[in-house]
Amino acid sequence: MRNELRIMNYELRTKIGIVQKKTPSRYSTQSGFTLIEMIVSIALFSFVMLATTTVLLSVVDANHKAQGLKTTINNLSLTLESIARNLRTGSSYVIGPSQGACPLSGRTSISYTDQYGLNVIYQQSGGSIEISKGGTSFAVMTAPEITIERFCFYVNGQDPLDPLQPKILITAGGIVNIASAAGARTKTTSRFDLQTLVSQRLPDVPR
């Protein structure tokens, strides 16, 4: 009778979930990450970091090139603007003998008398634009990143006997080289072609 009560009590406890059967196990099922899981996690993290770093470096490099290109083009624009402004207030324009890469009647240099009576010369020398004031030595006006391939002057109406007001057409062409942020191993090359027309400010009265 006592044994029967024990059996009934056990069956009742089993039905209501008080008694749970346990299977013996040598290893706990609540263990941490396995070695393979750690390797996969590290590989995924490394891939994400590499992709993020690559994108960041590309953005930095593109910004560096854009800033460098803007600065260089501004230097070239200021150079041509300075030449045009000074020629406008000058007189007695004489273009040089060298034609260089200039088509038609263009020449690579020009001399004139500025508003202070000094003789000024602009010329292309190699890949640069140079200036000489008052017979002194030449000084480079363009940035090192700029390579001038063509720098031409076309003068019309410089004869004091004609009724035309002197005009000078200035054309320039070349390339701009901008190094990447990582160094000088990779460069961005951009071509440019500029021109401006200058008219002498002083009235040219025929003699």
> Which of 31-45, 70-84, 100-114 comes out lowest in average pLDDT?
31-45
pLDDT at res. 185 = 58
pLDDT digit string (tens) for 157-203? 877 777 788 999 999 999 988 876 655 555 778 888 999 999 998 88
The mean pLDDT of 141-159, rounded to a whole number, is: 91
> Which of 1-5, 36-40, 99-103, 184-188 comes out lowest in average pLDDT?
1-5
pLDDT at res. 19 = 46
The mean pLDDT of 89-105, rounded to a whole number, is: 90
Closest by Cα among 85, 177, 176 to 131: 85
pLDDT digit string (tens) for 10-63? 565 565 555 445 555 554 555 556 888 888 888 898 989 988 888 888 887 777
Q: Which residues make beta-bridge pairs with 26? A: none
Amino acid making up residue 189? T
The answer to whether the pTM exceeds 0.85 is no
Residue for token pair 């300075």: 82
Question: Is 133 a residue whose pLDDT tops 70?
Answer: yes
Residue partners of 154: CB distance under 8 A and separation at least 6: 95, 104, 105, 106, 168, 169, 171
Question: Is 148 a residue whose pLDDT tops 80?
Answer: yes
Mean pLDDT of the chain: 82
Please give the biggest Cα pair distance in the chain: 149
- Cα 48 from chain centroid? 28
Bigger pLDDT: 92 or 35? 92
Bigger pLDDT: 181 or 78? 78
Question: Is 101 a residue whose pLDDT tops 60?
Answer: yes
Helical ranges in the chain per DSSP H: 2-15, 35-88
